[in-house]
Each structure stands twice: as C-alpha cells, then as structure tokens.
Amino acid sequence: MDNSLSINHPVKIMQLHAFFPTRDIGTDHAKIRDWAQAAEDLGYAGIEVADHVFGATAREGWTPLYNEKDPFHETLVTLGFLAAVTKTIRLSSGVLILPQRQTGVVAKQAAEVDILSGGRLRLGIGVGWNFVEYQALGMDWKTRGAREAEQVKVLRTLWTQDLVTFRGRFHDLTAVNITPAPIQRPIPIWLGGSSDAAMKRAARIGDGWMPIMAPQDAEQKIPILHEHLKEFGRDRGKFGLEAWLRVNEPDPQRWAAAASGWRRLGADIVMLYPMYRIADFADQIETLRRFKQAAAA
C-alpha cells in the first residue's frame, strides 16, 4: 500500500492529547497533580483518563488485555481531581464503558466534573471488551450496543432539560432532573471503538469518533465514516475525529509517522497510547515531551 495515503484532506492543525498513565502513576496525589500540570505546561490540548472498574484474572478460553495486577484510577473521580489542579487543559474520559453503568449516575458525575472544571469536560464512551466486568457489575453484555445508544439520548436529555420524562427499552424516568446542571448543555460525547458497528454508531449519535487504528487501516475506514455521516445528515465539519496511537515500544520515529498519517486523513486530535509500562515518573513526563516533539515533525 502507498504510504503517502491517498485521501485528499487539507493539512490542518492537529491537537495532541495526553494519555493519563493510570497503571504507572501510582497513588501519590502530588505526582498525579505534577503530571497533569506538566501536560498543560507542555501545551497539550487535553488529558484522557482510561476506565476499568474491576481487574479480572484469565480463565479458560479468555485472557484479558489488562488483568488483576493492572491498577486503574477511577475515571470520573480522577477527572474531578484533575479539574482542581489544572486551569485550561480539556479533560476527557478515554473511554468510559458506559453500558456497564447506571446512566443517571454518569449524568450526575459528568455534570459535576464539568462544573468543577469550568466547562472543560468531554465524555468519551465505549462498550468495552471485558464481558467479565459486565457480569461482575450485574449488566447485560449482549445488549451493550443498544444500551449505549439509548444512554447517549438520556444523557443529553438530562443535561439540557429542566425536568425529564423518558420511556425507553432500558430507561423509565418520570419527572426527574440533574441539579446542578453542567456548564456545557450538553457535554460533548465522543464514541470509541474501531469496529464497523462502533464507527456507524459514532456517526449516527456521537459528536466525534476516537478509534484505535493505524493510519494505513484508517485510510480504508474514513471514506465509509464520511458516507455514514452523509447518510445520517451530519456535518463533517462539526464532527470530531481523534486517533489513538497504540504503541508497544518507545519509538518516536514511528510515533511521528503515525501522527503524520492521521494528520493527512483529517484527524482533529491524536493521542499516544503506550501499551508498555513506564514505571519511572520522570520517564512519564519525558514521554509527553518526546511525543509532542515527534508529532510536530
């Protein structure tokens, strides 16, 4: 395949997001503060916090991507803390596994983070890959896609209306509300997931799409995304595209190539998503510096 990427998009200013090193940052709140402030000082446009409620052990026929030894800070509580220790950088869940949660609780928590951050929150959501976690939380794995779609509708209704009555497949609300309301009415909702179904759902109901995908693979997907947006009467100019660059080793040349490829494809945001461990705090900060430098190349 031609590495020049044939899709013709105007070169644009592409923002960088910083992936919160949830597995390696530890539990010292001062280091969490210092990392977030370093990302802001380096000029990153946003910070994204990953999500898992439970760790899970491997079992017959199934090995988790992350296991019971991988620590994950609670997403929305962490975002509330980051709101207090930063000033302007945007904050995002990346991504919150929405269908395994009560919609009203997420609406309330997200509204609070938006208030405490002065309107800097974006809710990144997904359906996840860990059916064990769904079982442990008492939620149905098989209906997660349909539930997510209805949840998005309910979230926006709760954030924008003063009193909500809603009847759906998964929700039954009668004259309830979220008070205090968020600053952003509604809070932006971007959908993760790289499958065709996730992409189509994002085009139908999301404010943006945030897949984990190499630019060479995305080259085949972006035209389909545009067709879906057209099908649903959506304006591409008002629909965001973010690329997660999942990497297994610290190789700035590969980071730069991937970021450049996504820039040519019209991405609004790119984020480095290291799968390798970065145990040293100084190295976590250095990774932010190196990615910023590589992505600007």
Give how many domains the chain has, as a whole number: 1
Residue 152 lies in a domain: yes
Q: Are 265 and 8 spatial neighbours (Cβ–Cβ below 8 Å)?
A: no
Residue 75 lies in a domain: yes
Which helix (H) or strand (E) is 212 found in, with range? none
**Residues sharing a CB contact under 8 Å with residue 190, sequence separation 6 or more, in sequence order:** 92, 122, 123, 124, 125, 202, 206, 207, 208, 209, 210, 240, 242
Domain at 224, CATH number? 3.20.20.30
Residue 69 lies in a domain: yes
DSSP character for 181? P
| Residue 220: predicted pLDDT | 94
| Residue 231: predicted pLDDT | 97
Residue 102 lies in a domain: yes
Here the tokens at position 6 are 């044939």
Residue 248 lies in a domain: yes
CA-CA distances (angstroms) from residue 165 to 10, 33, 158, 162, 171?
Answer: 44, 40, 9, 10, 10
Mean pLDDT per 10-residue section of the chain, whose length is 297 residues: 42 88 98 98 98 94 93 98 98 98 98 98 97 96 97 98 98 98 98 96 98 95 97 96 97 97 96 97 98 93
Domain that holds residue 73: 15-295
Residue 42 lies in a domain: yes
Instruction: State the Cα–Cα distance between residues 85 and 95, nearest whole angstrom.
Output: 21
> In sequence order, what are the beta bridge partners of 245?
272
Residue 4 lies in a domain: no
Please report how many Cα atoms fall inside a 13 Å half-sphere around the Cα of residue 33, on the Cβ side.
6
Q: What is the dihedral of CA 262, 264, 267, 270, to 10 degrees?
A: 40
| Residue 6: predicted pLDDT | 41
Quick: pLDDT tens for 77-119. Answer: 999 999 999 999 999 999 999 999 999 999 999 999 999 999 9
Residue 158 lies in a domain: yes
